[in-house]
Amino acid sequence: MIEGLHPALLMLLGALVLPLLRGIWQKVLSVLVPVLALIAVAQISPGSSAEFRFVGVDLVMFQADQLSLVFAWVFAIMAVIGNIYAWHINDTGQRVSAFLYIGSAFGVVFAGDWFTLLVAWEVMAFASAYLIFASASRAAVAAGFRYLMVHVVGGVLLFGGIILHGVQTGSYLTGPLDHGAGGLAYNLILISFMLNAAVPPLSAWLTDAYPEATVTGAVFLSAFTTKTAVYVLIRNYPGAEVLVGFGVAMALYGVVFAVLENDCRRLLGYHIISQVGYMVAAVGIGTEMALNGAASHAFAHILYKGLLFMGAGAVILMTGRRKLTEMGGLYRTMPITVFLYMIGALAISAFPLFSGFVSKSMIISAANGDHRAAVALLLTVASSGTFLHTGLKLPYYMFFGKDCGLRPAEPPLNMLLAMGLAALFCIGIGIFPQLLYAQLPYPVDYHPYSGSHVTESLGLLMFTLLAFVLFLKYLDPEKTISLDTDWFYRRGASLFMWIARRPVLIWEQWLITLGDGAGLRLMHRLSRVSLRLDTQVIDAAVNGVALTALRLGMLLRHLQSGIVSHYALAMIVGLILLFGWPLYVAMGAP
């Protein structure tokens, strides 16, 4: 038993109450509940757990240790910041789905068994998809369906892997998967985790969907899905060698695609992939320092990436534009947005005194300490690219550069406040790294502020700036889109339709002609026999059933309003009950 409440339960209860409130009360609750969740996380002591026995399987719905608590802390902080950022919107659906999304992310980090994890995992996918659909444009709805499709496939792989693993080992508890390393269960679960971590080639869903999400929804999206994946990788696959190569490839892949990108939030999306690459590589290295690095980098990343998405979102909200080729010169009227965005940019670029400096370098040092010079070198190249794009290219073409003539005002105060809070964390962690290090799963003996580390980092970054200044004209964004692995399912769909229209249809018609000849005579004879059977035996039974169904149908007709939002509400209530009830019971009904 634990004292207090499971933060997920708080978010779920909040999601139930939110639709009952309107206006200012709903806004207040949307910030109050995440604050309560933050307090609830503060009450949890490592080592506590809560179990629930369900159809013969022990479900550990709550299990807290140092690792889960690091992620819970940053999720709760980001939940508060994200909801302040979304204060001005009047969209109950988005608030409820954001609550469910955050709650299920808590569910994943505190899950002690695979079934709890799976349910929370699935709720996350559906709740987050709503934040994309809520944009309501045609492109957003299409991207939302592609997003859902990919994550449903990932969920099925995870489910299959869990069942196989359970049958083979007899245990459904999470933890490092040593059993059957390289076997089918091991790989199925690993692939589903890599899909959510956006490891190429399973990464296109992220850059396809995030830029289509609502301005406030994208901030939540940037924080939770990929980082819960990093969490489950640390928990279950520490030291899985295959992740080192994938992680490094990811870090560079994001950098290359960011050069080509013109959509501001898609560019930031490619840099989520790049940054998560550091974490994935660190999980693969698997030493205590590397795992500490992965956890601390995830912590810092959620806050600075949230800040960057908030900055880009503010520009999109105030200008209605999203392409770099259509922006420029906005610094004149949005200086505070520029300033706050740049704090996030300096943090992601790992400038001394900013959060990335104390977390990213831990991973590179861990790579060096494990005698992986090539890994450390390639991750350093990616660091240069990170500053080049998020710190130089994006702000230059968005805020400075060629004047596009727009003079937008600063965004609403709540958005600036949320960005300011995130910026405080980016600087605070950079100046007082011990505060973050004390929360990490393993003891930390690492001091980022050595003389050589500072001068080397500044050298790397400032000479990247020099190259940017000298070769600026080659970086001009172009009015293009980049093909990624989503090409296979986007073009694959048209290929599927072509097969359905041409070969399948022709084959079907041939079958029909065949059937009309010889087949038809045989069928006639058969049907006469079955007619007799039908009229005498089955009809009587069917009539009885039909009458019952008719009565039931009349009853159901009153329940069917035909309004999609009613159905959506019913589904959400169902989801909450499905997940919330066992949780409530497991917590001993506080």
User: Which residue in 213, 461, 575, 583 binds another protein (CB under 8 A)?
Assistant: 461
Q: Is 408 helix (H, G, I), strand (E, B) or coil?
A: coil
Counting Cβ atoms within 10 Å, is residue 106 exposed (0-12), middle (13-18) or buried (19+)?
Answer: buried
By CB under 8 A, residue 232 contacts another protein: no
- To another protein, the closest distance from the beta carbon of 467 in angstroms equals 4
By CB under 8 A, residue 89 contacts another protein: no
Q: Which stretch binds another protein (CB under 8 A): 40-48, 194-202, 290-298, 334-342?
A: 334-342
User: Which residue in 201, 320, 335, 574 binds another protein (CB under 8 A)?
Assistant: 335
Are 191 and 182 contacting, i.e. CB atoms less than 8 angstroms apart? no
CA 553/CA 558 separation, integer angstroms: 9
Are 290 and 277 contacting, i.e. CB atoms less than 8 angstroms apart? no
User: Which residue in 86, 362, 376, 394 binds another protein (CB under 8 A)?
Assistant: 376
| Binding positions for another protein, 480-519, rule CB under 8 A | 480-483, 490
User: Which residue in 381, 417, 568, 585 binds another protein (CB under 8 A)?
Assistant: 381
By CB under 8 A, residue 452 contacts another protein: yes
- Give φ, ψ of 336 to 5 degrees: -70, -40
Are 415 and 215 contacting, i.e. CB atoms less than 8 angstroms apart? no
Binding mask 237-276 for another protein (x = CB under 8 A): ------------------xxx-xx----------------
User: Which residue in 438, 462, 522, 570 binds another protein (CB under 8 A)?
Assistant: 462
| DSSP conformational letter for 412 | P
User: Which residue in 385, 391, 430, 441 binds another protein (CB under 8 A)?
Assistant: 385
CA 281/CA 249 separation, integer angstroms: 9
- To another protein, the closest distance from the beta carbon of 64 in angstroms equals 36
Q: Which stretch binds another protein (CB under 8 A): 328-336, 352-360, 418-426, 507-515?
A: 328-336
By CB under 8 A, residue 339 contacts another protein: yes
Residues 404, 409, 411: CA angle, nearest 5 degrees: 115
By CB under 8 A, residue 458 contacts another protein: yes
H or E element that contains 52:
strand 49-54
Q: Which stretch binds another protein (CB under 8 A): 19-27, 43-51, 375-383, 500-508?
A: 375-383
| Binding positions for another protein, 352-371, rule CB under 8 A | 368, 371
By CB under 8 A, residue 390 contacts another protein: no
Residue 33 or 282: the one with the smaller Cβ distance to another protein is: 282
- In 406-466 the beta strands, taken as DSSP E runs, fall at none
| DSSP conformational letter for 449 | -
Question: Prior bond to 7 cis, omega within 30?
Answer: no
Task: Return the structure tokens found at 88.
Answer: 């001005």
Q: List the beta bridge partners of residue 405.
A: none
By CB under 8 A, residue 467 contacts another protein: yes
User: Which residue in 28, 431, 447, 478 binds another protein (CB under 8 A)?
Assistant: 478
- To another protein, the closest distance from the beta carbon of 491 in angstroms equals 8
524 Cβ partners below 8 Å, 6+ apart? Answer: none
Q: Token match 């005002």: residue? A: 409
User: Which residue in 432, 463, 498, 581 binds another protein (CB under 8 A)?
Assistant: 463
CA 78/CA 104 separation, integer angstroms: 14
- To another protein, the closest distance from the beta carbon of 479 in angstroms equals 6
User: Which residue in 75, 399, 425, 437 binds another protein (CB under 8 A)?
Assistant: 399
- To another protein, the closest distance from the beta carbon of 344 in angstroms equals 15
Are 81 and 21 contacting, i.e. CB atoms less than 8 angstroms apart? no
By CB under 8 A, residue 380 contacts another protein: yes
Q: Which stretch binds another protein (CB under 8 A): 13-21, 243-251, 479-487, 499-507?
A: 479-487
Number of residues interacting with another protein: please give it, by CB under 8 A: 52
CA 425 to the chain's CA centroid: 21
CA 276/CA 282 separation, integer angstroms: 10
Positive or negative CA dihedral for 102, 302, 315, 84?
Answer: positive
Residues 47, 52, 55: CA angle, nearest 5 degrees: 145
By CB under 8 A, residue 469 contacts another protein: yes
User: Which residue in 145, 331, 449, 489 binds another protein (CB under 8 A)?
Assistant: 331
Residue 97 or 337: the one with the smaller Cβ distance to another protein is: 337
By CB under 8 A, residue 577 contacts another protein: no
- To another protein, the closest distance from the beta carbon of 342 in angstroms equals 9
Question: Prior bond to 408 cis, omega within 30?
Answer: no
CA 522/CA 529 separation, integer angstroms: 11
Residues 318, 320, 321: CA angle, nearest 5 degrees: 115
CA 430/CA 357 separation, integer angstroms: 7
By CB under 8 A, residue 405 contacts another protein: no
Interface positions with another protein (CB under 8 A): 255-257, 259-260, 329, 331-332, 335-336, 338-339, 368, 371, 373, 376, 380-381, 384-385, 388, 399-400, 450-452, 454-469, 471, 474-475, 478-483, 490
